[in-house]
Amino acid sequence: MSRGRRIRLVLGYDGSGFHGFARQEGLRTVQGVLEDELRRMLGVDILVEGSGRTDRGVHARAQVVHFDLPYGPPADRMVHVLRRRLPADLLPRDAGEVDEGFHARFSVVRKTYRYTLDLAPLPSLYWYRFSWHHPEPLDLAAMQEAARHLLGEHDFTSFCAAEARQRDKVRRIDRVEFRQDGSRLHIEFEGNGFLQYMVRILVGTLVKVGRGQERPDRIPLILEARDRRLAGETAPPHGLCLWNVEYPPEYGGKVIDLADDL
């Protein structure tokens, strides 16, 4: 069968009801739901490739996928068609046709993840599925000092799952930014790639610093040790969101540039 057209689709989803992005037999996943719906639409199997695999319970504002269509609706109609067919917790946001050189994963230049902490005394009825409730006070200045040590290229073995599949643990972080919105504290990490649980462990470590249980100047030592036991806890998945994905200029740069909408 002819490959046809390559479609790039930007998705948002509430990860609460998904067992992660990647298809798993017998479990509800983002890839599985999308592939099943494309099969019902077109009558043929369509392989969906994602920019990365979010874990169970992790959300996305701008996950990017691509797939090849032998036929079907034009790209500018794809969002409208899929919005009518997909469940409410899986939202197609943008679609376009790209050349065969584009790959949702391998063409990525950098990604942005956002982690949200809710620092209010009581958890929010509206944010409890999208934030880690942490009512104890945190030393924000100490957390910012610790975060500066994470910038640049490092081996992040200490800050990833012990069972992480990637052999090369070297990644580059270009930006760590703290944004306060009322009782919520958003921490954004932008870099060229992230290991399994990496952002959640970084957040757990920064929170440990904020509690006064770890010194900011120990971050370089933890990095050098390459020992997961020295870093902080793994923060809960529901506070994490894949916020944006960036591609080379010929593919449009950052895929979404909207005001905060979560």
Q: List, as residue ranges, the binding site for substrate.
A: 113
55 catalytically annotated: yes
Distance in angstroms (rounded) separating the CA atoms of residues 59 and 120: 21
Strands (E), 85-169: 90-98, 110-118, 132-133, 152-155
The answer to whether 98 touches 66, Cβ cutoff 8 Å, is yes
Residue among 8, 6, 12 nearest 93 (CA): 12
Burial pattern 54-92, b for ≥16 Cβ within 10 A else e, equals bbbbbbbbbbbbbbbbeebbebeebbebbeeebeebbbb
The answer to whether 220 touches 156, Cβ cutoff 8 Å, is no
Residues 6+ apart with CB under 8 A from 106: none
Q: Which of 36, 45, 55, 227 is catalytic?
A: 55
Could you list the residues known to form a binding site, using ranges: 113
The answer to whether 53 touches 21, Cβ cutoff 8 Å, is yes
Angle between the 30-42 and 75-85 helix axes, to the nearest 10 degrees?
110
The answer to whether 70 touches 39, Cβ cutoff 8 Å, is no
Which residues are part of the catalytic machinery? 55
